[in-house]
Chain A
Amino acid sequence: MFSEHAGPTAQGLLAPPSAEPPTFPRVPVQGYSDCSQPFQLGERSFSRQYAHIYAVRLAGMRPGLEQRARSRWGNDIALRKLSELQAGEKCCVVGTLFKAMQLQPSILQEISEEHNLVPQPPLPKYIQPSDELILEDELQRIKLEGAIDVQRLVTGTILAVYGSEQDDGRFLVEDHCFADLPPPLPWNGPSSDRFVLLASGLGLGSVSGEALLSTQLLVDVVTGQLGAEGEQSCAAHIARVILAGNLLSQNTQSRDTINKAKYLTKKTQAASVEAVKMLDEILLQLCTSVPVDVMPGEFDPTNYTLPQQPLHRCMLPLASAYATLRLVTNPYQANLDGVRFLGTSGQNISDIFKYSSMDDYLEILEWTLQAGHISPTAPDTLGCYPFYKSDPFILTECPHVYFCGNAPQFQSKLLQGKEGQRVLLVTVPDFSATQTACLINLRDLTCQPITFSSFGADSED
């Protein structure tokens, strides 16, 4: 546990000044390598159709799924393509799922003048009992029914179904399986306590200032200003800080200025300008003391489609002068001290949340790992770059720490896989709402939340 050794010196600073106080060196950076090259786009060209992603996704995941199917339902099952189906024959088909949802927002419906529809307001969930599942492969599609949970699944998942085709042309599913956890990575973790701080949703630029002191307390704990000697020495074991998205608050996204006339908005400054300046100062304080990885999120000034590219260094002139600042992509993958981290800023999980009956972010996170794909709903309901060569969101190796940012609450779980995989699943809470960040101990893959609070006019606690 963090600062479990801090007990003895806890009250040490309630004393007159003593001799020269100790300064603790930060644990050195060891074995860091950035593995998010697949998520870094160079020249971006949007001239391609999105159908290619599905084609490469299916082609990339088909071999693994066929192997899974064989191991699950026997080696002698018949693996058929949809075009080869025969009525009544029990076989296994591998394909992409498509969920036809009535409430799914469609731009064509919105602009259709025949219907005279008012644009649909955003709903928390778009699922309805009348949704249907359709399985597609390279050439055909077929409706699914049977032992398959329609509400739970989302579009874009690659799965294998076992059943038979009925006379009415639908496929009766008896069983289905996903790609399951990818093959494990060897474990090279450190032998002594090494912490990584995960925080997301700093939400700078918001109107409320309550979270500001908590943010400052977070920075102070990490940089070793706060706390007694014991805690400071424990804080020196924080090897890295990862900020998982939404550094800016949603309030900075105000689009009013786009609709207003130019003469009304001439002297106004975008709210994000002030917020980025604040972010720069906070990052500078952090960077002078600890390596920081900054991932962009939904409200940050970078591109909208996944994979989000790193924030540009010109926005952070003070902090980017330091080599300890790393501006990274979303999703982000890296080796820290022999431990493989993989995580997103939460857009993928919250999108699945909207189109599935699953409510728990941790459950969804685990499900994506089981499905073998970080973000199956891209590009259907989540913006995505039109990949055509390979789908970088397919999980090929099992990370040791798999996280998502901007979750409503903190949750963590250590998942054990059949092939010896050990994954720590962490949902990092939104800091501006919960004032909670996560401390992950790399030695034993445990996670502890760290909460900051101050006193307000209505202080309880």
Chain B
Amino acid sequence: MADELYLENIDEFVTDQNRIVTYKWLSFTLGVHVNQAKQMLYDYVERRRKENSGAQLHVTYLVAGNLLQNGHVCHKVAVVREDKLEAMKSKLSTIASVHVYSIQKALLKDSSPLYNTDYDIVKTNLQHCSKFSAISCAAAVPRAPPDAPRAPASAQGPQSQRDPDNASAVNGHGPPAAKPPPQQHRGIMGMFAAKAASKGQDTPKEAKAEAKEAPSVSAASSKPPTKNSIMNNFFGKAAMNKLKASSVPEQPKEEKEVVKPSVAAAEPESSPNTVAEKPGKKTESSRIQQKDKKSKTKRADRSDDEEEGDPENVKKKRKRIKQLQSDSSDEEDVPPSPTPEEERAPSPLPVPALKTELEPASTEVPAGGRKRKRKRVLKSKMFIDEEEGCM
């Protein structure tokens, strides 16, 4: 029965974990009203004392009442040890409340452990510290954001409290001044985090995940998504190089398949930060370029092979390249395969240069087309190979 469960819980807390169980701590831990917690503690003490194994228990009580002091009637609220309880009660002229404050195994010399226990549990439950209280205040509502126009952090604070998404909470509590640098990192790392997160998932799931991550990571970003086309251009160039260099082991098939959602994800990720755009674009574009590269190679692979596992495909592609490397007829693949990896390192450097020069989508073709031409040559060769022999 749930009634008996709390007795076991308290028993465990007090005797096994040797904790100081205050009514507030118990209320937050078990999720009950404070008054119920006080009653639970009392019930536990009574039962244990009856069983005569309560010698190990020390109880502190809260006593409140009126006291005549210095000529006026003073309301006194005191936390007392059990042995001083009756003395305090007799001092008070009228008693307003008596209840158990805490139970612990050891005899407390002073009340600072009580304070520490309460402080810790309140600290971990700051956002709903009045949830189990006996008084509810209708006026205690967080301020609406328009009331705090110059404090976006605090405005997002209450919103993020309600928002279960941890990412936005982190975002909301950060000071506005510090937003750009962490978001910059978030922009770049976020893409890789997105990549890592999306690894091993289905395409639709990943698209959703990435779409979710995009708004969550860039909760504060309000950049309009008009940069899609421009981003696409840059993605076409440097994405492939950078991506291969950075996430060589992680090349899931989904990456190439969800070029667009990832572009959408990457774009808002890097959009809040204009400073991060270039490196973001670099990484994004390199990644997308790589995706394109991969996609093209993979398309070729697919056309060559039947559908297999995505990482397997990638590896197979690599294997194939390696095999091509070993194959003298496809030596042209050899330089492209290691060199693309090497090229990726220098490619981000020429790529931004290319990027800055070549904005529109059409120019992306000749810039990346260099490699693509090679790839096309590769493919054709591969086709020839396939036609000639089986691969």
Answer whether residue B140 sits at the interface, using C-beta atoms and an 8 A cutoff: yes
Contact A26/B81 with A285-B122, A317-B157, A439-B75 known, Cβ cut-off 8 Å: no
Q: Given A226-B62, A322-B142, are A455 and B80 neighbors across the interface (CB < 8 Å)?
A: yes
Q: How far in angstroms is the closest Cβ of chain B from A187?
A: 24
The A204-239 residues at the B interface (CB cut-off 8 A) are 209, 212-213, 216-217, 220-221, 223-232, 234-236
- Chain B residue numbers with a CB within 8 Å of A412 are 72
Q: How far is the CA of A230 from the CA of B97 in the complex (A)?
A: 7
Q: How many angstroms from the CA of A322 to the CA of B140 in the assembled complex?
A: 6
Q: List residues of chain A with CB within 8 A of the CB of B39.
A: 13, 15-18
Q: How large is the interface on A (under 10, 10 to 19, 20 to 34, 35 or more residues)?
A: 35 or more
Sort chain B's interface into a size bin: 35 or more
Structural contact, B142 and A6, CB atoms closer than 8 A = no
CB-based nearest A residue for B41: A13
Question: Is the Cβ of A448 less than 8 Å from the Cβ of B74?
Answer: yes
A433 within 8 A of B: no
- Answer whether residue A25 sits at the interface, using C-beta atoms and an 8 A cutoff: yes
- B135 & A231 in contact (Cβ 8 Å cutoff): no
Q: B80 and A26: CB pair below 8 A?
A: no
Q: Which of B205-239 contact A (CB under 8 A)?
A: none
A288 at the interface (CB under 8 A from B): yes
A444 within 8 A of B: no
Chain A residue numbers with a CB within 8 Å of B166 are none
State the CA gap A285–B134 with chains docked (Å). 14
* Structural contact, B139 and A29, CB atoms closer than 8 A: yes
Known: A10-B95, A13-B38. A452 touches B135 (CB 8 A): no
Tell me whether B380 is interfacial, beta carbon within 8 Å: no
Question: A451 near B133 (CB under 8 angstroms)?
Answer: no
Instruction: State A456–B113 Cα separation when bound (angstroms).
Output: 11
The A interface is mostly helix, strand or loop, or mixed, namely loop
- Contact between chains at A3 and B99 (CB < 8 Å): no
Q: Which of A4, A20, A226 contacts B77 (CB 8 A)?
A: A226
Contact present for A10 and B96 (CB under 8 Å): yes
The smallest beta-carbon distance between A210 and chain B, in angstroms, is 8
Contacts of B374 in A (CB 8 A): none
Interface 1/0 per residue, B108-128 and A, CB below 8 Å? 111110110011001100101
Interface residue? A461 (CB, 8 A):
yes
Contact B112 A284 (CB under 8 A): no
The CA of A63 and the CA of B114, in the complex, are separated in Å by 60
Instruction: Specify which chain A residues have a CB less than 8 angstroms from the CB of B126 in the assembled complex.
Output: 281, 284-285, 318
A289 touches B137 (CB 8 A): yes
Q: Which residue of A lies closest to B35 (CB)?
A: A21
CA–CA, A73 and B278, complex, Å: 86
Assess whether B97 is in contact with A13, with CB atoms less than 8 Å apart.
yes
Q: Are A449 and B72 in contact (CB under 8 A)?
A: yes
Given that A13-B39, A28-B138, A29-B139 are known contacts, is A321 also in contact with B99, CB under 8 Å in the complex?
no
Cα of A2 to Cα of B96 in the assembled complex, Å:
9
Residue on B nearest A226 in the bound complex, by CB? B62
Q: Does the CB pair A231–B64 fall under 8 Å?
A: yes
Which B residue's beta carbon lies closest to that of A11? B98
Q: Considering the chains assembled together, what is the distance between the CA atoms of A453 and B77 in angstroms? A: 6
Query: Is B147 engaged at the interface, CB distance under 8 Å to the other chain?
Result: yes
**Residues of chain B lying within 8 A (CB to CB) of residue A317:** 153-154, 157, 173
* CB-based closest 7 A-B pairs: A224-B135, A228-B97, A454-B111, A13-B99, A21-B35, A6-B96, A26-B137
A212-B119, A450-B77 are known; give 20 further A-B pairs, CB within 8 A: A4-B94, A10-B97, A16-B39, A16-B42, A21-B36, A25-B136, A213-B111, A216-B118, A221-B64, A224-B134, A228-B35, A228-B97, A285-B129, A288-B128, A289-B133, A317-B154, A318-B126, A321-B142, A321-B143, A321-B161
Could you list some 22 contacts between A and B, CB below 8 A? A14-B99, A25-B138, A26-B136, A213-B111, A216-B119, A217-B77, A225-B23, A226-B62, A227-B62, A285-B122, A288-B128, A290-B140, A313-B151, A318-B157, A321-B142, A321-B161, A412-B72, A448-B74, A449-B72, A453-B77, A456-B111, A461-B84
Question: Using a CB–CB distance below 8 Å, which chain B residues touch chain A?
Answer: 3, 6, 23-24, 27, 33-36, 38-40, 42-43, 46, 60, 62, 64-67, 69, 72-81, 84, 88, 94-100, 108-112, 114-115, 118-119, 122-123, 126, 128-130, 132-143, 147-148, 151, 153-154, 157-158, 161, 173
